[in-house]
């Protein structure tokens, strides 16, 4: 009788929960058809720790109803995104003063923070990169340093930390790690330079200076290593510049204006398997796709809250399977798309 009473009570308590689950709307769908049979398909979006473990058992649900659901962490003001060799999705969140690690395959989640540390506190994590061993590198625009963490999230060191608690960099933003060459690239937005460091944090050289000519910057932000090239978002010159690994200027894409191929608030940059460049425009709420000659191939996105719509998008990353991760910052989520194209790179990205 006692067991039967417990089950009966559980059924009564869980009835509203089951009813609400039945009322869940169907997943949104979005797809863009492109030339040559290519297409871009919306896969999903995620915004909280809860989505890593969506299926909770009967007894866990019963405890949730009686004691209240657990407090899940969620994206507050996400900015940058990258994936590691295990497919974990790593998202910086200056709004939460930390870094989210989503491991959907293993159904695990971790949040990295150092806000309360007396020394080397993490205040405003900006951009993120990983090396060949999946160590995590995070720029902090307020602290002026680069934080390094093990794949587990354990703190290793802070690059650029000076005596007195200040950081060497004025405003470090974009970051990329060349594990083969044992070098780190980081933009200093207020200095209008890209710093090239060794893995110990020693400065090897700088790239660029203030200006609007080739190889010059006006508030550089995100950067991305792409084969032999280093792609740098030159935000207030409304373009993306490409350099070789030594820092020699190669070409630029973009211009100011309101027509095709123009940029107003370029943010993240990435390349797909065919070598085409994706550039997020934060103010226009879209992603523009260019070939290496600067020709606009297509764009996607508009202002809104549904699939394929953005509000103040920021970071962008494309993995080796052509999954396109777009940080939809004001909507507090990351949207994931899949580009279906040719498997072999096409020089010039023509289509």
The residue extents of the domains of the chain are 31-349
Proportion of the chain in helix, strand, coil states, percent, rounded to 5: 15, 40, 45
DSSP string over 57-118: -HHHHHHHHHH------B-SS---EEE-TT--EEEEETTTTEEEEEETTTTEEEEEE-TT-S
pLDDT score of 274? 93
Q: Are 64 and 58 in contact (CB under 8 A)?
A: no
Please give the Cα distance from 102 to 70 (Å, whole number).
17
Please give the Cα distance from 248 to 214 (Å, whole number).
10
Counting beta carbons within 10 angstroms of the beta carbon of residue 3, is it exposed (0 to 12), middle (13 to 18) or buried (19 or more)? exposed
Counting beta carbons within 10 angstroms of the beta carbon of residue 245, is it exposed (0 to 12), middle (13 to 18) or buried (19 or more)? middle
Q: What is the CATH number of domain 31-349?
A: 2.120.10.30
Please give the Cα distance from 20 to 32 (Å, whole number).
32
Please give the Cα distance from 154 to 268 (Å, whole number).
27
Please give the Cα distance from 334 to 328 (Å, whole number).
5
The full length of the chain comes to 351
- Count CB neighbours of 201 within 10 A: 18
SS3 222: strand
pLDDT score of 336? 98
pLDDT tens for each residue of the chain, 351 residues long: 655 545 445 554 545 545 555 556 678 899 999 988 899 999 999 999 999 976 655 445 554 555 455 689 999 999 999 999 999 999 999 999 999 999 999 999 999 999 888 888 999 999 999 999 999 999 999 999 999 999 999 999 999 976 555 568 999 999 999 999 999 999 999 999 999 999 999 999 999 999 999 999 999 999 999 989 999 999 999 999 999 999 999 999 998 887 778 999 999 999 999 999 999 999 889 999 999 899 999 999 999 999 999 999 999 999 999 999 999 999 999 999 999 987 555 444 433
First-last CA distance in the chain: 72
In our burial notation (b when 16+ CB lie closer than 10 A, e otherwise), range 290-304 reads bbbeebbbebbbeee
pLDDT score of 349? 40
- Count CB neighbours of 322 within 10 A: 16
């Amino acid at each position: 009788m006692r067991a039967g009473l417990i089950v009966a009570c559980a059924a009564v308590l869980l009835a509203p929960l089951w009813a609400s689950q039945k009322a869940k709307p169907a997943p949104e769908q979005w797809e863009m058809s492109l030339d040559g049979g290519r297409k871009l398909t919306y896969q999903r979006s995620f915004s909280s720790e809860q989505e890593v473990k969506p299926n909770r058992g009967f007894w866990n649900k019963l405890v949730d109803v009686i004691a209240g659901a657990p407090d899940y962490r969620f994206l507050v003001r996400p900015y940058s995104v990258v994936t590691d060799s295990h497919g974990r999705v790593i998202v910086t969140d200056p709004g939460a003063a930390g870094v989210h690690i989503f491991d959907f395959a293993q159904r695990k989640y971790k949040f990295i923070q150092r806000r309360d540390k007396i020394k080397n506190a993490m205040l405003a994590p900006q951009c993120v990169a990983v090396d060949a061993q999946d160590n995590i590198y995070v720029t902090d625009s307020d602290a002026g340093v680069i934080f390094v963490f093990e794949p587990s999230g354990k703190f290793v060191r802070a690059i650029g930390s000076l005596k007195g608690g200040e950081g060497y960099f004025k405003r470090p933003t974009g970051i990329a790690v060349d594990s083969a060459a044992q070098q780190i690239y980081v933009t200093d937005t207020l200095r209008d330079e890209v710093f090239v460091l060794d893995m110990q944090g020693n400065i090897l050289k700088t790239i660029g200076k203030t200006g609007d000519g080739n190889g010059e910057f006006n508030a550089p932000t995100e950067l991305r290593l792409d084969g032999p090239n280093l792609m740098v978002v030159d935000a207030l010159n409304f373009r993306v510049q490409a350099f070789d690994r030594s820092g020699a200027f190669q070409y630029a894409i973009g211009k100011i204006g309101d027509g095709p191929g123009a940029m107003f608030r370029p943010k993240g940059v990435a390349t797909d398997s065919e070598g085409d460049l994706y550039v997020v425009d934060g103010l226009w709420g879209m992603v523009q796709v260019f070939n290496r000659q600067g020709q606009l191939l297509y764009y996607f996105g508009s202002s809104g809250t549904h699939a394929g719509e953005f509000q103040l998008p920021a970071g962008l990353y494309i993995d080796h399977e052509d999954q396109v991760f777009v940080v939809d910052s004001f909507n507090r989520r990351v949207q994931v798309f899949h580009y279906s194209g040719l498997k072999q790179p096409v020089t010039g990205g023509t289509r």
